[in-house]
Chain A
């Protein structure tokens, strides 16, 4: 089945991902693309603790993602690819042309960002990156949990 959800979520692996989306989609693995976590074994152990044993977690960096795409595509299980920010997801999309949809799941308030949705705050640069993805044909929607309405990127700009 391979990767069925490409999600931006600054909380990375947490309840909405593992329980909300994971149970709904019946996932078997999570790919976390984050250079910081990739380099931190202790953080990896922490994130693994929060995931049921039946779900594998792959920690990878931006530079490695393209080289492992075939491996994930061949996986018979369903998976979620997760990044913590827009920039990393844009890099993933550049490296993996097969990405056709991006889910904005949670980007929280920080200096320089303005509120677009209750769970989406963006700088102008981040908004422009999302628009650029959409302009290249990637369907970008915001949706924190599966039961929520997918909000088209145009409503975030």
Chain B
């Protein structure tokens, strides 16, 4: 059996840690998720922190803003690495779903996260 995926949430301020706490409250503790904050980091420090969090394992990296330092850093790290995918616009629904689908191939897991996250965004009522 291949190694289960790691998910790394990299985001501004305390967002990543808060999202992970929310995922654990819903899905339990075995989520395979790790939080990284960009607080106090320049590009080099954030790259090093993200690289350490991935730890050479196959991973999906979830970032908050598509145009932020977290997404830029994640994209730079994933460049040329077939076992790392980057998903922007992280939300709780995609993380909870990811926690239960860590046996998928990394590309499939990333695509599933995008679709799950999109489905979760909607307008309630009129």
Contact = CB atoms under 8 A, between A and B. Distances in A.
Interface of A: 10-15, 18-19, 42-43, 46-47, 49-51, 106-110, 118
A118 B41 CA distance: 11
Contact of B79 (A42, A49, A50, A51): A42
A150 B79 CA distance: 38
Nearest to A119: B40
Contacts of A47: 72
Given A14-B72, A15-B12, A108 B40 contact: yes
Given A46-B76, A108-B41, 18 more contacts: A10-B42, A11-B42, A11-B69, A12-B43, A14-B72, A15-B12, A15-B67, A15-B68, A15-B69, A18-B67, A47-B72, A49-B67, A51-B67, A106-B42, A108-B42, A109-B40, A109-B42, A110-B42
Given A14-B67, A51-B67, A46 B72 contact: yes
18 contacts: A10-B42, A14-B72, A15-B67, A15-B68, A19-B67, A43-B76, A46-B72, A46-B75, A46-B76, A49-B66, A50-B66, A50-B68, A50-B71, A50-B72, A106-B42, A107-B42, A108-B41, A108-B42
A77 to B, nearest CB: 19
A51 B65 CA distance: 11
A27 B119 CA distance: 33
Interface residues of B, number: 17
Nearest to B68: A15
Contacts of B72: 13-14, 46-47, 50
Nearest to B67: A50
Contacts of B42: 10-11, 106-110
B45 interface: yes
Given A46-B76, A109-B45, A14 B69 contact: yes
Contact of B43 (A10, A42, A51): A10
A106 B43 CA distance: 11
B1 to A, nearest CB: 35
A49 B69 CA distance: 12
Contacts of A18: 67
A4 B116 CA distance: 41
Most buried by B among A46, A106, A109: A46
B88 to A, nearest CB: 9
Contacts of A15: 12, 65, 67-69
